[in-house]
């Protein structure tokens, strides 16, 4: 499972070279007028062009987006991959009811009868994402904290199975201070970089690189309602609103893994 430093550097060089050839194309989709205006305002914190470029995304890839929520990244990925690639979104199983069913229904209503989403496929997050070995990239944004426990094993195993050899797993996640306990991670929504890397590597993935492009040094990570205190959730509502708005969205790690 080990990949030499030289091999890692070679792969990153390939990703950077390919980035130069498609960067304008990707940027067109990030800047598309088809995106929700409120979502575009979050770009300053989420850096979609830079993040997807770091992950080496190309328009002809087969991609799985894990737990897309309201579809913030889906608005970019679906049209970008529509013509020559393939997008599969793994959303909540509606049969679980409650929040899961409501979230899935809202997502399906969002994409209904919209041309940019018509080539996309939806599968359940708790099922297989595709046939084994046919996916180029699996991406997940701000989700690991929701999966702490057995669910994380199921999802990472499915991701590993779906990916081709050489396929990549891109992870963006709220970053806790080193040494934070599992219970504190569950409560706060922030997870440590050490824990995240360890859990992914246990499944056979190899860490290729890290980026600080989604870091936020203003985030103290010590908030009364955890990460949900900050934008866009603003769990404290009007209480200290300006304070939390001035911090912005959470400090985040951005990690790139590969299936050997």
Question: Tens digit of pLDDT for each residue in 125-167?
Answer: 999 999 999 999 999 999 999 999 999 999 999 999 999 999 9
Q: What is the pTM of this model?
A: 0.91
Would you place residue 22 in the very low, low, confident or very high pLDDT band (cuts 50, 70, 90)? very low
First to last CA, the chain: 7
Q: Specify whether the CB–CB gap between 88 and 60 falls below 8 A.
A: no
Cα gap 147→209, rounded to integer Å: 22
Pairing mode, strands 135-141 and 121-124: unpaired
Whose tokens are 């990916």? That residue is: 163
Residue 217 CA: distances (Å) to CA of 118, 228, 236: 39, 17, 21
Note the pLDDT of residue 10: 56
Q: Specify whether the CB–CB gap between 91 and 50 falls below 8 A.
A: no
Query: Domain 5-258's class?
Result: alpha beta
Cα gap 65→257, rounded to integer Å: 15
Which percentage of the chain shows pLDDT scores above 90?
A: 91
Has residue 7 got a pLDDT over 70? no
Has residue 12 got a pLDDT over 60? no
- What is the H or E stretch that residue 9 is in? helix 5-30
Average pLDDT over residues 217-235: 98
Residue 82 CA: distances (Å) to CA of 29, 75, 76, 120: 11, 11, 10, 7
pLDDT tens profile 65-122: 999 999 999 999 999 999 999 999 999 999 999 999 999 999 999 999 999 999 999 9
Has residue 28 got a pLDDT over 50? yes
Domain ranges of the chain: 5-258
Has residue 8 got a pLDDT over 70? no
Q: Specify whether the CB–CB gap between 210 and 256 falls below 8 A.
A: yes
Residue 247 CA: distances (Å) to CA of 64, 66, 231, 251: 31, 27, 9, 10
Would you place residue 1 in the very low, low, confident or very high pLDDT band (cuts 50, 70, 90)? very low
């Amino acid at each position: 499972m080990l990949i030499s430093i030289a091999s890692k550097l070679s792969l990153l060089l390939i990703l950077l070279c390919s980035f130069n050839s498609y960067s304008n194309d990707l940027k067109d989709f990030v800047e598309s007028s088809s995106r929700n205006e409120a979502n575009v305002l979050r770009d300053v914190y989420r850096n979609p062009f830079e993040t997807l470029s770091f992950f080496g995304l190309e328009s002809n890839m087969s991609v799985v987006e894990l737990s897309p929520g309201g579809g913030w990244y889906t608005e970019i990925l679906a049209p970008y991959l529509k013509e020559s690639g393939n997008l599969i979104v793994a959303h909540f199983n509606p049969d679980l009811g409650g929040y899961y069913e409501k979230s899935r229904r809202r997502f399906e209503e969002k994409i209904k009868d919209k041309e940019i989403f018509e080539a996309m496929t939806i599968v359940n997050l708790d099922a297989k994402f595709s046939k084994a070995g046919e996916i180029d990239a699996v991406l997940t944004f701000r989700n690991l904290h929701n999966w702490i426990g057995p669910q994380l094993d199921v999802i990472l195993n499915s991701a590993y199975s779906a990916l081709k050899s050489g396929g990549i797993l891109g992870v963006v996640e709220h970053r806790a201070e080193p040494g934070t306990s599992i219970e504190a991670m569950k409560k706060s929504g922030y997870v440590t970089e050490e824990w995240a890397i360890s859990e992914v590597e246990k499944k056979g993935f190899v860490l290729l690189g890290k980026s600080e492009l989604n870091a936020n040094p203003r985030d103290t990570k010590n908030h009364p309602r955890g990460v949900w205190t900050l934008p866009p959730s603003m769990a404290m509502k009007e209480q200290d609103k300006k304070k939390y708005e001035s911090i912005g969205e959470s400090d985040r790690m951005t990690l790139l893994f590969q299936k050997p």
